[in-house]
Amino acid sequence: MSEATMEATAAADLKAKLETNTALVGVIGLGYVGLPLAASLHDGGLPVLGLDVDASKIEALERGENYLKHLGDGMTRTLAGSDRFEATADFGRLAEADVIIVCLPTPLGKHHEPDLSYVVIAGEQIGRTLRAGQLIALESTTYPGTTRGEFLEAIEREAEKRGIKLECGKDYFVAYSPEREDPGRQSHTTSTIPKLVGGLDDTATDLAMQMYAKGIDNLHRVDSAEIAEAAKLLENIFRAVNIAMVNEMKLILTRMGIDVWKVIEAASTKPFGFMPFYPGPGLGGHCIPIDPFYLTWKAREFGHVTRFIELAGEINHAMPAYVIDRLASALNSIGKPVHGSKVLVLGLAYKPDVDDTRESPSFEVIELLRERGATVDYSDPHVAKTVPVRKHDLQMHSVELTPDNIKKYDAVVVVTNHKAFDYQAIAQHANLVVDTRNAMTAFADGMRERLVKA
C-alpha cells in the first residue's frame, strides 16, 4: 500500500466515524475548558471519554455533580445519565479514543517563563498509546510553534520508545484550536463562541473542523497551527495592553482629582474608534495575566524585546500594591496605621459571580496586607475556603457579610464586585470602603469621607 493510500485510508476512516457519530473523543483535563467542551461535543452526538488526574472530579461527575458551580448541575446530570459519556483517571485508555483533545493549563514558572510541563506530559501520555487513525488537538494557550514543536516531539518521543513507526500527517493527525472560555459569561457558551482551527497540515485541519462542528456552531479555519496559536495570544495581549492603559490613566487622573470611571463613561459615547476597558486591582484569570509572558519569552529567541507588552505587564502587576497604598493613605487620614488594622477583602474570585480564583489579584492584596501587619479576612459567596494556588496558600475561610461583621473591620476593600454582595449594607455599616471596581458609586453621596476609589 502506498504512503498516499495509507494517509487517505487513515483520514477516511476517521472521517467516516465522525460522520456517523461513532468516533470516541477523549478530553484530557476536565476543568473550565475541558468539561464544557466535552458536554458540547456530547450534545452534538459524539461519545466522549473524559480524563483527569483529579479523582474527586471523576467521582463528582459519576454522581452528576458539577464542581464548576457557574455551569450548574444540569450539564453534569446529563453526562452522568448518558451511555455516551464516561470519566476516568486511567490514561491507558487513550488508545480507545479516535480523537484526543488536550485542555490543560500552561502556567508560568518562578521567573515568569512558560511552563509547558502539563502539555509535554500529555503529549507523552498520548505517545504511549498512539495508534494509526487518531486526531489530536491541543487547546492550551501557548506561544507559536508549540504544537509543531514541544507537543508533537513529546508524542513522537514516546511512540518511538514503543518501537512503532507512525508519521504525523499520514498515520495520525495533529491540530491546534485555542480555547476561548469566559467563565460566568451569559451571552456566549462553548457552543456559540467562534472557534479557530489550524492543523499541522490540511488533512488535520479538515478532520478537526469536522470534529469540532459536532459541538461548535461557528468555526473559522486558519492556514496553520502557528496562526491559531498567535491569534490566541493577540486576543489576550490586546486586552492586557488596554487594561494597562486605563490603569495608568487611573493613576494620573486620581492625582488630578478626576474620576476615571466617569471619564470612561464619557468616552464611551463615541460610536466609533473607541472600546471601553476598565481599571482594576490587578489582572486575574488564566489568560490575561499569563499570555503576554509567553510571547515575550518566545520573542527573545528571535532577538526581539517586546517593550510595549512588557511595560503593560509591569503596570498591571503593580495594581495590588497601588490598592494597598490607597488603603494605607485612607487609614492614615483617620489616625490608623495598616499595622494592627482589621481589613475585610470582598471577593476572592478573579471576576464577578463565579468561583474561579485563578491568578486572582485578591491573593496578592491579602498577602500584601499581611506583610504590613494587618489582620485580614475575606468574604466571597462563591468561594467558601481557599485552596493552594500557584503562588499562594492563604488557608482562609470566607466570612459571612452581615451588618455586625462589616462593623468589626476598620476597612472593607472591594476587589471583586459580586452581585450577591449587599452593597447598601456595606455603605451603611462599613467604617471605610476602598473600592477598586466602582461598585459603590450608587452610594457615594451618602458615604462622603468613608469611600475611597483605588
Domains of the chain by start residue, with CATH: 3-223 (3.40.50.720), 240-453 (3.40.50.720)
Share of the chain above pLDDT 90, in %: 83
User: Which of residues 413 and 163 earns the better pLDDT score?
Assistant: 413
pLDDT reported for residue 335 = 93
- Share the mean pLDDT of the chain: 94
What average pLDDT does range 64-71 have in this prediction? 90
What average pLDDT does range 241-270 have in this prediction? 97
Asked if residue 84 has pLDDT above 80, the reply is yes
What's the chain look like in SS3?
CCHHHHHHHHHHHHHHHHHCCCCCEEEECCCCCHHHHHHHHHHCCCCEEEECCCHHHHHHHHHCCCCCHHHCHHHHHHHHCCCCEEEECCHHHHHHCCEEEECCCCCECCCCCECCHHHHHHHHHHHHHCCCCCEEEECCCCCCCCHHHHHHHHHHHHHHHCCCCCCECCCEEEEECCCCCCCCCCCCCCCCCCEEEEECCHHHHHHHHHHHCCCCCCEEECCCHHHHHHHHHHHHHHHHHHHHHHHHHHHHHHHHCCCHHHHHHHHCCCCCCCCCCCCCCCCCCCCCCCHHHHHHHHHHHCCCCCHHHHHHHHHHHCHHHHHHHHHHHHHHHCCCCCCCCEEEEECCCCCCCCCCCCCCHHHHHHHHHHHCCCEEEEECCCCCECCCCCCCCCCCEECCCCHHHHHCCCEEEECCCCCCCCHHHHHHHCCCEEECCCCCHHHHHHHHHHEEEC
pLDDT reported for residue 7 = 56
Q: Work out the pLDDT band at 4, boundaries 50, 70, 90.
A: low
Q: Work out the pLDDT band at 286, boundaries 50, 70, 90.
A: confident
Least confident of 65-69, 428-432, 433-437: 65-69
pLDDT tens track for 153-162 = 999 999 999 9
pLDDT reported for residue 2 = 47
Grid cell listed for 306: 517586546
Catalytic residues, by residue number, are 287
User: Which of residues 5 and 283 earns the better pLDDT score?
Assistant: 283
Asked if residue 408 has pLDDT above 80, the reply is yes
Asked if residue 1 has pLDDT above 50, the reply is no
pLDDT reported for residue 112 = 80
